[in-house]
Chain A
Amino acid sequence: MNALRIAIADQAVSLYPQRAAFWHEPSTLLVADLHLGRQQAWRAGGVPISDAAQIASLDEPLQRLTALLQATNAARLLVLGDLLHAPAGLTDAMVTHVAAWRARHADLRLEVIPGNHDRKLDHVAEAWNLIVREPHVCEPPFEFVHDPADATNAELLACSGHIHPMVRLATARESVRVPAFLVTPRLFLFPAFSGLFSGVTIDPTPDTRVYPIAGDRVIALRDSIATK
């Protein structure tokens, strides 16, 4: 896997193009905004998505997680909110399917910071063997939250999801819009782990470091450019 290893707040962090970051020291894999069960929620709303398509759409992020766990050998997976999409998406088949995946990673410590979509998190906590954390988790130098607006500790770097950031890169002739990790002096913003989302195009401020995901690579926009 093509990871980009960088230093954030003097910590070694690897950014993966699979939209996850690995914090080396406490061996923690960080992801945000999985929105599991989204397709199930739609179907409950009457949108025709076949059984096979539902399971396949659920499997895709789980398989990506498995590959990331194998590559990093992480001991802990910390979800920065929005593990679930909607209560209606928690069908029996869906819960069972994720539980089976969880059973294959029994040694993994799975912690979730509840996001605004995670209203029924308690219903699956046991089946999925997950630890529901408080909305702010301070592990200096980071404070983990779902919504960047929830960060409380000005001393710490807030790590969050919720926004689903994208950036537009353009010259006079061409432009591309891609998901990205963004690092500002106060904030470490994660792209949505779920691929089926249109994100929000962020206009980076001059002190923002931008790490766009270009296909199978994460690219560091050169500081001379990114901080100009």
Chain B
Amino acid sequence: MEPPAQSVRPDGTPIPKTSQASLGRQLRRLRAVEVAASEPGSGRPGRTRRRSTPRGDSALWHDANDGLHAIERWFATKGWIPWDFQHSAWEAFRRGESGLVQVPTGAGKTYAAYLGPLSELIDEHLVAQHSIASAGSTLPSPPPRGRGQRVGSAGAEIAQDGDDTKKTHPPAPSLREGELDAGATSTSLRVLFITPLRAVSRDIELALRAPIDEMDLPLRVESRTGDTSQSVRDKQRERLPEILITTPESLCVLLTRENAPALFASLSSIIVDEWHELLTSKRGTQVELCLSRLREFAPKARTWTLSATLPNLEQAARAAVGMAAPEPTIIRGEMRREITINTLTPAPGTRMPWAGHLGMHMLPRVVETLDPAISTLVFTNTRSQAELWYQAILHAKPEWEPILALHHGSLDRDDREAVEGGLKSGDLRIVVATSSLDLGVDFAPVERVIQIGSVKGIARLIQRAGRAAHRPGAPCSILCVPTHTLELIEIDAARRAMLESRIEPRVPLHKPLDVLAQHLVTCAMGGGYEPGAMFQHVRTATAYATLSRDEFDWALDLVSRGGDALKAYPHYHKVALDSGRARVGDKRLGLLHKLNIGTIVAQPTLEIRFTGGKRIGSIEDGFITLLRPGQKFAYAGRSLAFVGVRDGVAYVRPAGGKTNNTPRWAGTKLPISESLARSVRETLEVAVNATASTASNELLHAREMIEAQQRLSIIPRADELLVEACETRDGHHVFVYPFDGRLVNAGLASIVAFRISQGRPSTFTISANDYGFELLSPTPIELEGVFTSDLFDTQRLLEDAACSVNLAELAKVQFREIARVAGLISQTYPGARKTGRQVQINTGLLYDVLREFDPGNLLLHQADREVMERHFEQTRLARSMQRLSASRLRLMRTTQPTPLSLPLIVERVAGQMSSESLADRIERMQQEWERDAVRATGAGSSMPRRQTPKPPHETRSRP
């Protein structure tokens, strides 16, 4: 029997003899490695070697598990022992299963998912190379394939090859380029590695390449991200490497290639990294759709996904493998990493404030703790807080300038990468960061993590703590710096929740039609599709499992004809049916689509540069419009003076001195998670009964506040709901404390205000924080008979929520993202850049028009749904209301604001709820101004609050 034609290249040209010879050398080297590793005495300690016997179903002349053994031996040469979960994952993969590997970051999950597929590639190459080798007669003839005859030990077979091969062990340096090309017998892409973080693709590439280089395998590993150079992209146009690392967005761009079906047909495994990060976002949905498309091209491809600890692993695994796959295999790396939570308490004799979120009073204590000898990450919750803390630390310790740095998502990428590099190399010792450093890049030297302010959630706490000593099994600790007294209780609560492993679940999105619309154009470009078949494929993605044919057709109609509207506008026909197949005919529209791929919609920001031209980062234009030329602000750890805006770039010059004016970024502050919130309620109850001997350090320090609260009011038990009322010169306050996170508390506040105001025209100013909410009214609010369990009735929740807040305003903001993702609005035009603000205006007005004149538009419904979920955490809100309606109400009238209410008063983030007519309100406001004017005895202004005039929004987009 003739061996298959491996001696020709994929394009049909014969492989020259010389490269065949080099293949033989490679093969010998590889076998030599195996032989050496299997020699007695080189076995790994503490582990019995597993050696499966050759199985009858293998048609190969060598051991069916050779690939796996090669991997194990490579591990041994590194002095590593595979973890059990790694072994399980490799074997599950080789059995043909798909699934999920759950292990903490840094525990070796990349190799758990990757080496299974690699072992299979090694198997194939051994066969392939054997065939080439035998054709070139450089090896003794093995038994021909197909006879079912086997040579006993592969090691013995190779041993005949003589001593020179052994000299190549330990592994030879990597192959030269020419050899590599000639040696690549696999014709195309086999393993696809998807990472959400472009920044780590380089690190992943090194990790994936290491075993290949060291085992001298003729396989190529390449990255394809937004950073990939044009020349590499051009090479990848016709042929992808065997192993490709990419991001969800770049994968989508690859899927727009006309030859996509051929490019991906040979795919045997897909690995998705950091799945827990992607899962809850539209990027996750986009990945789900891409995976369904890839499985269409390569039905046998196995999907493995890597995730941190989640309580809903089954759901996460199912989302990754799709609805059509058999039950996914879940492999848990049971590696309990010990996390110690310590709290930095105020210096003896000083008091912790009862409100405030910046925590600057703790600066001296933090600076005292910091030590350049110990590499430290200082996490804050917002970018502006990071700016302030960086400035403050630098001010306190100017000599730390060379070793201190700032890192957040709005800084220029080069600067961020420099900071990451400095952390890795150990040159930077202290870095103040936001969530921008939560993920990804492995900073092995980091030894300590400090968290300023609330930890917000258990998963986040574990993630951040894990940044220190980022090694498998190593213990880690986090030092929490509370910014006010209630956070002391929160830290204690977080520790309790962590000990009980109450980690927050992450739930995938439910059929966002904008993502589907984008996908339908992507696939129409990448080979096209028949709509009926596409509908079936889309439904294999869990997000769209319940998608109706009507909804699918609506989305297809949107991209093919712009919906009902645009039949008469040929240039809007992105997708056209061409003899039953959906395709994109127009090259320009295709290009436009590629430029707009993705689901991350940037906030409208301006690039910020020095007048000399050096880029510094980006900043929200809402902040810039409030600046006067010459005004100072802190950014990127520097004092800058605003010069002006030209061509969409904000120019600044360095300014001396210190300023507390920091930019605000729109990213909403995270609310505390549901499980942390629950733990806080329980901890408060514990705090009441705690004695000096049983209380934690945190509770001891919170004691003074707790006693004051008990003097003025009560501390609610976990099954009670505390409502306090008091009057100040601001008006009549009611404080309610559900302890349910800021978003839910705000939603509750709106609904309660709405329900109270039914039947009695009134206007409330509403504020909310993580612990409770405040209703402030110009007229007295009754408690008895008004604050009853009925207020928390979940019936009519949706209707009342929709009436109680300006849903339309919020949905309008949300619609901006939807319109962009669905491709209604382009974020980038070739040649003509639109500024963010123009996009915002267009989508805002488009929303108004659709809302008023095209109310059946499904994207509007999606905007409403997303607002309810993102702004109020609707499902969590409903659970909360159920709990509250069963809680015992404690109505307290107090003579003054209590410690619990102070943060609400100090950090008032006001919304409004009014059932009065606008005219009545203005009339009442006028009366109030007059009263205030009298009170102020004519001094000062009694005019409505002054606003800085802004330039007309419309002028920039005026034709």
Give chain A's interface residues, CB within 8 Å of chain B: 38-39, 42-44, 46-54, 56-57, 86-87, 116-117, 119, 163-164, 167-176, 178, 196-204, 206, 212, 214-217, 219, 221-222, 224-226, 228
Within the complex, what minimum Cβ distance (angstroms) separates A75 from chain B?
31
CB pair A221 B945 closer than 8 Å = no
Q: A219 to B944, alpha carbons, bound, how many Å?
A: 15
| Residue from A43, A174, A212, A216 whose CB has the most chain B CB atoms within 10 Å | A174
Q: A206 to B943, alpha carbons, bound, how many Å?
A: 9
Q: A197 to B845, alpha carbons, bound, how many Å?
A: 7
Q: Which of B427-435, B669-677, B694-702, B947-955 lines the interface with chain A?
A: B947-955
22 of the cross-chain contacts (CB-CB < 8 Å) are A43-B569, A46-B562, A46-B571, A46-B572, A50-B853, A50-B854, A53-B853, A168-B944, A174-B910, A175-B912, A178-B918, A200-B952, A201-B947, A201-B950, A202-B947, A214-B918, A215-B919, A219-B922, A222-B930, A224-B933, A225-B933, A228-B942
| Residue from A48, A52, A215 whose CB has the most chain B CB atoms within 10 Å | A48
Knowing A43-B565, A49-B854, A53-B850, the reply to whether A172 touches B730 (Cβ < 8 A) is yes
Knowing A43-B565, A117-B959, A219-B922, the reply to whether A56 touches B853 (Cβ < 8 A) is yes
Beta-carbon contacts under 8 Å, B906-959 to A = 910, 912, 914, 917-919, 921-923, 925-926, 928-930, 932-933, 941-954, 958-959
Closest 4 CB pairs of A and B: A53-B853, A50-B565, A48-B562, A214-B919
Within the complex, what minimum Cβ distance (angstroms) separates B373 from chain A?
51
Knowing A43-B566, A217-B919, the reply to whether A203 touches B947 (Cβ < 8 A) is yes
Query: Does B564 lie at the interface of the complex (its beta carbon under 8 Å from any beta carbon of A)?
Result: yes
CB pair B731 A49 closer than 8 Å = no
Query: Does B852 lie at the interface of the complex (its beta carbon under 8 Å from any beta carbon of A)?
Result: yes
Knowing A57-B852, A116-B958, the reply to whether A48 touches B563 (Cβ < 8 A) is yes
B730 contacts across to A, CB distance below 8 A = 172-173
Q: A57 to B850, alpha carbons, bound, how many Å?
A: 10
Knowing A47-B825, A48-B562, A215-B918, the reply to whether A225 touches B947 (Cβ < 8 A) is no
B910 contacts across to A, CB distance below 8 A = 173-174
Q: A215 to B953, alpha carbons, bound, how many Å?
A: 23
Beta-carbon contacts under 8 Å, B87-111 to A = none
Chain B's closest residue to A55 (CB) is B853
A57 contacts across to B, CB distance below 8 A = 849, 852-853
| Residue from A173, A206, A225, A226 whose CB has the most chain B CB atoms within 10 Å | A173
- Extra contacts, 9 of them, besides A175-B945, A198-B844 (Cβ < 8 A), are A42-B849, A53-B565, A168-B944, A171-B925, A176-B918, A214-B922, A225-B926, A225-B943, A226-B943
Query: Does B246 lie at the interface of the complex (its beta carbon under 8 Å from any beta carbon of A)?
Result: no
Q: A175 to B925, alpha carbons, bound, how many Å?
A: 9
CB pair B930 A224 closer than 8 Å = yes
Q: A53 to B564, alpha carbons, bound, how many Å?
A: 11
Q: A116 to B958, alpha carbons, bound, how many Å?
A: 9
B918 contacts across to A, CB distance below 8 A = 176, 178, 214-215
Within the complex, what minimum Cβ distance (angstroms) separates A216 from chain B?
8
Query: Does B842 lie at the interface of the complex (its beta carbon under 8 Å from any beta carbon of A)?
Result: yes
Chain B's closest residue to A228 (CB) is B942
A38 contacts across to B, CB distance below 8 A = 845
A43 contacts across to B, CB distance below 8 A = 565-566, 569
| Residue from A171, A176, A178, A217 whose CB has the most chain B CB atoms within 10 Å | A171
CB pair A48 B565 closer than 8 Å = yes
Chain A's closest residue to B949 (CB) is A203
Give chain B's interface residues, CB within 8 Å of chain A: 558, 562-566, 569, 571-572, 730-731, 763, 765, 776, 778, 824-825, 841-842, 844-846, 848-850, 852-854, 910, 912, 914, 917-919, 921-923, 925-926, 928-930, 932-933, 941-954, 958-959
Chain A's closest residue to B911 (CB) is A174
Tell me which of B932, B941, B947 contacts A168 (CB under 8 A). Answer: B947
Knowing A48-B558, A225-B933, A228-B933, the reply to whether A56 touches B945 (Cβ < 8 A) is no
A226 contacts across to B, CB distance below 8 A = 943
Within the complex, what minimum Cβ distance (angstroms) separates A212 from chain B?
7
A50 contacts across to B, CB distance below 8 A = 563-565, 853-854
Q: A170 to B922, alpha carbons, bound, how many Å?
A: 9
B942 contacts across to A, CB distance below 8 A = 225, 228
B571 contacts across to A, CB distance below 8 A = 46
Chain B's closest residue to A215 (CB) is B918
Q: A164 to B954, alpha carbons, bound, how many Å?
A: 9
| Residue from A46, A56, A170, A217 whose CB has the most chain B CB atoms within 10 Å | A46
Tell me which of B558, B565, B841, B912 contacts A198 (CB under 8 A). Answer: B841
A44 contacts across to B, CB distance below 8 A = 569
Q: A6 to B941, alpha carbons, bound, how many Å?
A: 25
Within the complex, what minimum Cβ distance (angstroms) separates A161 from chain B?
11
B930 contacts across to A, CB distance below 8 A = 222, 224-225
A200 contacts across to B, CB distance below 8 A = 949-953
Q: A52 to B852, alpha carbons, bound, how many Å?
A: 11
Within the complex, what minimum Cβ distance (angstroms) separates B486 from chain A?
25
Chain A's closest residue to B567 (CB) is A51
CB pair A39 B572 closer than 8 Å = no
Chain A's closest residue to B853 (CB) is A53
CB pair A202 B949 closer than 8 Å = yes
Q: A119 to B959, alpha carbons, bound, how many Å?
A: 10
Q: A86 to B958, alpha carbons, bound, how many Å?
A: 9
Q: A174 to B915, alpha carbons, bound, how many Å?
A: 13
B917 contacts across to A, CB distance below 8 A = 214-215
| Residue from A42, A49, A203 whose CB has the most chain B CB atoms within 10 Å | A49
CB pair A47 B569 closer than 8 Å = no
| Residue from A53, A197, A217 whose CB has the most chain B CB atoms within 10 Å | A53
CB pair B948 A203 closer than 8 Å = yes
CB pair B944 A196 closer than 8 Å = no
B949 contacts across to A, CB distance below 8 A = 200-203
B914 contacts across to A, CB distance below 8 A = 174
A48 contacts across to B, CB distance below 8 A = 558, 562-563, 565-566, 572, 824
Tell me which of A196, A197, A203, A212 contacts B922 (CB under 8 A). Answer: A212
Knowing A53-B850, A196-B848, the reply to whether A170 touches B944 (Cβ < 8 A) is yes
B842 contacts across to A, CB distance below 8 A = 42, 47
Q: A204 to B947, alpha carbons, bound, how many Å?
A: 9
Within the complex, what minimum Cβ distance (angstroms) separates A207 from chain B?
12
CB pair A42 B944 closer than 8 Å = no
A116 contacts across to B, CB distance below 8 A = 958
Q: A117 to B959, alpha carbons, bound, how many Å?
A: 7
B849 contacts across to A, CB distance below 8 A = 39, 42, 49, 53, 57, 196
Chain B's closest residue to A44 (CB) is B569
B922 contacts across to A, CB distance below 8 A = 169, 176, 212, 214, 219
Q: A204 to B842, alpha carbons, bound, how many Å?
A: 28
| Residue from B825, B852, B918, B950 whose CB has the most chain A CB atoms within 10 Å | B918
B763 contacts across to A, CB distance below 8 A = 173-174
B946 contacts across to A, CB distance below 8 A = 203
Chain A's closest residue to B763 (CB) is A174
B943 contacts across to A, CB distance below 8 A = 204, 206, 225-226, 228
Chain A's closest residue to B846 (CB) is A47
B778 contacts across to A, CB distance below 8 A = 173
CB pair B566 A176 closer than 8 Å = no
Q: A176 to B929, alpha carbons, bound, how many Å?
A: 14
Tell me which of B563, B765, B945, B952 contacts A163 (CB under 8 A). Answer: B952
Knowing A50-B564, A50-B854, the reply to whether A117 touches B952 (Cβ < 8 A) is no
CB pair A176 B845 closer than 8 Å = no
CB pair A117 B958 closer than 8 Å = yes
Q: A173 to B842, alpha carbons, bound, how many Å?
A: 32
Chain B's closest residue to A48 (CB) is B562
Within the complex, what minimum Cβ distance (angstroms) separates B178 from chain A?
50
B853 contacts across to A, CB distance below 8 A = 49-50, 52-54, 56-57
Q: A101 to B844, alpha carbons, bound, how many Å?
A: 29
B959 contacts across to A, CB distance below 8 A = 86-87, 117, 119
Tell me which of A52, A119, A176, A225 contacts B921 (CB under 8 A). Answer: A176
B562 contacts across to A, CB distance below 8 A = 46, 48
